[in-house]
A and B are shown apart, each in its own frame.
Chain A
Amino acid sequence: MSDLTGTGTAVDPLTQTQAVKDMRRLDPSLRPAGDGGSLVHRSGRGKKLLVYLALVAFALVYIYPFVVQVSTSLKTNADAVAHPLAVVPDPFTTAAFQRLADTDFPLWFTNSVVVTVCVTIGRVFFNSLAGYALARLRFRGRDAVFTAILAVLAVPGIVLLIPKFLVLNYLGIYNTYPALFVPLLVDAAGVFIMKQFFESIPPSVEEAARIDGTGTFRTFWSIVLPMARPAVITLTILSFQGSWNELAHFIIATDDPRLFTLTRGVAQLTSGGLGSGNQYPISMAAALLMTIPTAVVFVVFQRYFTQGANAGAEKG
């Protein structure tokens, strides 16, 4: 997500509980708004109109760039340069997309999908495992482990660029697929979110299972995890978003163009990879194509995104 690129920036425990509260609610965003801060409550038509005008103006500022992105991707370069504000392409052309298809774009897209799927599955599984253990299982050193994970959260992700390159190289997995996703498989923030959520589930259910003699993993897998569905979905979304949009890690994990992901490939494609001159329709087409999966996931899971934003506060 934009500049808050940290893979695990500092977290504030207080917000986490807030997040869990949000998740426990069916959907906070759909609840009728409280009166809190309603500046124009019971105010006149004029004020309402003003609010609407301001909102529409802001909405335009927020939506227009995406409109420009779509329409420019269907323009010729000359048209794009001459009429950057025009919504309707003249002439209409799909040349930019055809040109993209000739580059390594399809490969980058595949790589991004593979990496995102691996990271998301890994994070959901490992984070829930660890979160459950930290929330429910008694074992020696548990507090220490938890403190360690808290400490890890305080490390700003961006300072790890050089260190991660060194260790990937040291392990001999630099320039390999695993280098792209293994370091991202676990994130401390996710462990934290899951721990908080498991703590909010009444322990009585699993106690019963335990007395029945069900194994710890079975209890976790078939009883507790299904109950944590909202948290799991939130984590899935955060992981998807984090790994699909990640750039810095992919820069240092490989220099082999066959392993480029979308973010890395597109960033370099448009800065000189196309030869001289700016090719705006192509860069807009690339931007559009890498936005579409995000948009689809966003629309489908919209309400969980709302929770994710709060739960993933530390991720930005």
Chain B
Amino acid sequence: MSTADTVEGRDTVAGPGRSPAPRRRRRGGGQRQSGAGWLFVTPTLVVLGLFLVVPILMALWVSFTDWSGRGNPFSGGVGFVGADNYKALLAEPGLSRQDFMISLRNTFYYVLGVVPLQTLLALGLAIVVNQRFLKGRTFFRTAFYFPSVVSSVAISLVFLFLFTGTGAVNQFLGVFGISGPTWFSDPRGLIHLVGQGLGLWSIDSPPSALADTQVMSLSVWDWFSGPSVALSAIMLQVVWTTAGTFMLMFLAALQDLPTEVEEAALVDGANAWQRFRAVTLPHLRPTMLLVITLGVIGTWQVFDQMYVMTQGGPAKTTLTPAYLSYTAAFRQQQWGQGAAMAFLLFVLIFVLTSFQRFVLRDKDEAARKRAERAQKRAAKKAVTA
């Protein structure tokens, strides 16, 4: 349906060269429009060009230099080092690669935790808030959505307070006899903790087979740490914050669901779960894939929380590529390496989203077909009944 809209929209405009007849008729107007058209888009082009295209080119240059923040990076005095910065991050054993790998590991677990959780929570909230019988729907929708319009700095401050060692969360857990961790200063990985809980290993003396095997500057043991307790607290916060936005997207999609289809299925005698699986879920699939895509793009860029709450600690377990790139440049004055990291992150996000777009397009088509089939089936049964 949405594709059709786009096409309609374009057609009403009749792009250049597409319909010669009207163009001939309005030649004078066309010239005036041409001037006005360029005039209208010029501010946008200048700002985007100046603060997007040009900076990217500049940073690309800097990522091939050893500029240390002194003097003009575009003058002859700056050393051109070729791909050295990229090599230090990817190919050469050393601290730079270790830190970059740690940041990738952290963010990988972060994405893996946040995206499914926020999608499910958003879907669940949307379905419940969408119930017809519910009183005070607006209130609940507002309550769930509000955190996502509030500044991440403000929310981070509140969560810092809630999650202190003797804070609200731990006091609440204490009611149930659970003694909570010192959240933001606990670097232990969740997988490590679970393994220890199951008696598989002890965190203080990890199995040497895992601890002594190094892959890309990190031991296997470190790769499979899972998100640290500190990172998990941030993940909870982010899920809590963003689920509201995605809930609204799901809500919009749910409200687009043709009532007739639902009624047909109802007549069909399908129970609630069957209806949900056969009708609602296929209908929601495009939205869900969109939510996941946006989630992945957003989570890989996580920066604010690290800047405000943990500065990468404890024990580097909340280091992310975005934050690491920032500190490399703005604190350690390794601008080349910082810029190189930013580009690698760019490429990574680009590849991930391209991949997801590919999947999205495919599934979208498939989902629509499936939904159509289901609708037809349901309608047919309704008629025969």
Are A and B associated in one complex?
yes
Q: Report the minimum CB–CB distance from B135 to chain A (whole Å).
A: 9
Given A9-B298, A34-B259: A294 touches B345 (CB 8 Å cut-off): no
Distance A132 CA – B138 CA, assembled complex (angstroms): 34
- Interchain CB contact under 8 A, A85 and B9: no
Q: Which of B111-140 contact A (CB under 8 A)?
A: 114, 125-134, 137-140
Q: Which of A1-30 contact B (CB under 8 A)?
A: 1-6, 8-10, 12-15, 17-18, 20-22, 28-29
- Interchain CB contact under 8 A, A62 and B146: yes
**A183 located at the interface, meaning its Cβ lies under 8 Å from any Cβ of chain B in the complex:** yes
- Interchain CB contact under 8 A, A270 and B58: no
Residues of A within 8 A of B284 (CB): 37
Interface string of A73-101 (1 = CB under 8 A from B): 00000001100110000000000000000
- Interchain CB contact under 8 A, A291 and B128: no
Q: Report the minimum CB–CB distance from B4 to chain A (whole Å).
A: 9
Distance A161 CA – B346 CA, assembled complex (angstroms): 12
Residues of B within 8 A of A302 (CB): 142
- Interchain CB contact under 8 A, A36 and B255: yes
Distance A216 CA – B364 CA, assembled complex (angstroms): 40
Residues of B within 8 A of A51 (CB): 128, 131, 134
Nearest B residue to A170, CB-CB: B58
Q: Report the minimum CB–CB distance from A76 to chain B (whole Å).
A: 14
Residues of B within 8 A of A22 (CB): 252
Q: Report the minimum CB–CB distance from A69 to chain B (whole Å).
A: 5
- Interchain CB contact under 8 A, A31 and B301: no
- Interchain CB contact under 8 A, B51 and A267: no
- Considering only CB atoms and an 8 Å cut-off, how many residues of chain B contact the other chain? 143
- Considering only CB atoms and an 8 Å cut-off, how many residues of chain A contact the other chain? 134
- Interchain CB contact under 8 A, A167 and B5: no
Distance A152 CA – B51 CA, assembled complex (angstroms): 11
Question: Which among B51, B146, B241, B311 is the interface contact of A164 at CB below 8 angstroms?
Answer: B51
Residues of A within 8 A of B142 (CB): 302
User: Once A and B bind, how many residue pairs between them come within 8 Å at the CB atom?
Assistant: 429
Interface string of A54-70 (1 = CB under 8 A from B): 11001101110110110
Residues of A within 8 A of B36 (CB): 133, 137, 139, 216-217
**A225 located at the interface, meaning its Cβ lies under 8 Å from any Cβ of chain B in the complex:** no
Residues of B within 8 A of A113 (CB): none
**B213 located at the interface, meaning its Cβ lies under 8 Å from any Cβ of chain A in the complex:** no
Selecting from B95-103, B165-173, B193-201, B374-382, the interface stretch reads B165-173
- Interchain CB contact under 8 A, A84 and B297: no
- Interchain CB contact under 8 A, A2 and B33: no
- Interchain CB contact under 8 A, B304 and A247: yes
Distance A39 CA – B254 CA, assembled complex (angstroms): 12
- Interchain CB contact under 8 A, B245 and A38: no
**A163 located at the interface, meaning its Cβ lies under 8 Å from any Cβ of chain B in the complex:** yes
Nearest A residue to B169, CB-CB: A84
Q: Which of B16, B51, B258, B297 has the most CB of A within 10 A?
A: B51
Distance A199 CA – B330 CA, assembled complex (angstroms): 44
**A228 located at the interface, meaning its Cβ lies under 8 Å from any Cβ of chain B in the complex:** no
- Interchain CB contact under 8 A, A309 and B141: no
Nearest A residue to B305, CB-CB: A3
Distance A247 CA – B154 CA, assembled complex (angstroms): 11
Residues of B within 8 A of A266 (CB): 153-154, 157
- Interchain CB contact under 8 A, A155 and B346: yes
Q: Which of B37, B53, B257, B329 has the most CB of A within 10 A?
A: B37
**A258 located at the interface, meaning its Cβ lies under 8 Å from any Cβ of chain B in the complex:** no
- Interchain CB contact under 8 A, B242 and A155: no
- Interchain CB contact under 8 A, B132 and A316: no
Given A15-B290, A158-B345, A160-B55: A1 touches B257 (CB 8 Å cut-off): no
Residues of A within 8 A of B48 (CB): 148-149, 152, 186, 188
**B210 located at the interface, meaning its Cβ lies under 8 Å from any Cβ of chain A in the complex:** no
- Interchain CB contact under 8 A, B16 and A306: no
- Interchain CB contact under 8 A, B41 and A145: yes
- Interchain CB contact under 8 A, B162 and A65: yes
Q: Which of A274-316 contact B (CB under 8 A)?
A: 278, 280, 283-284, 286-288, 290-291, 294-295, 298, 302, 305-306, 309-310, 313-314, 316
What 7 pairs across the A-B complex have the smallest Cβ distances?
A: A139-B37, A36-B257, A163-B55, A4-B298, A199-B9, A133-B40, A163-B59
| Interface positions of A (Cβ within 8 A of B) | 1-6, 8-10, 12-15, 17-18, 20-22, 28-29, 31-41, 43, 48, 51-52, 54-55, 58-59, 61-63, 65-66, 68-69, 72, 80-81, 84-85, 126-127, 129-130, 132-143, 145, 148-149, 152, 154-167, 170-171, 182-183, 185-186, 188, 191, 196, 199-200, 203, 210, 216-217, 220, 241, 244-245, 247-248, 251-252, 262-263, 266-267, 270-271, 278, 280, 283-284, 286-288, 290-291, 294-295, 298, 302, 305-306, 309-310, 313-314, 316
Q: List 19 A-B contacts (CB under 8 A).
A: A34-B130, A36-B262, A36-B283, A37-B280, A41-B131, A41-B272, A65-B147, A81-B164, A138-B14, A138-B23, A158-B322, A167-B55, A196-B9, A199-B13, A267-B308, A283-B160, A284-B158, A286-B154, A294-B149
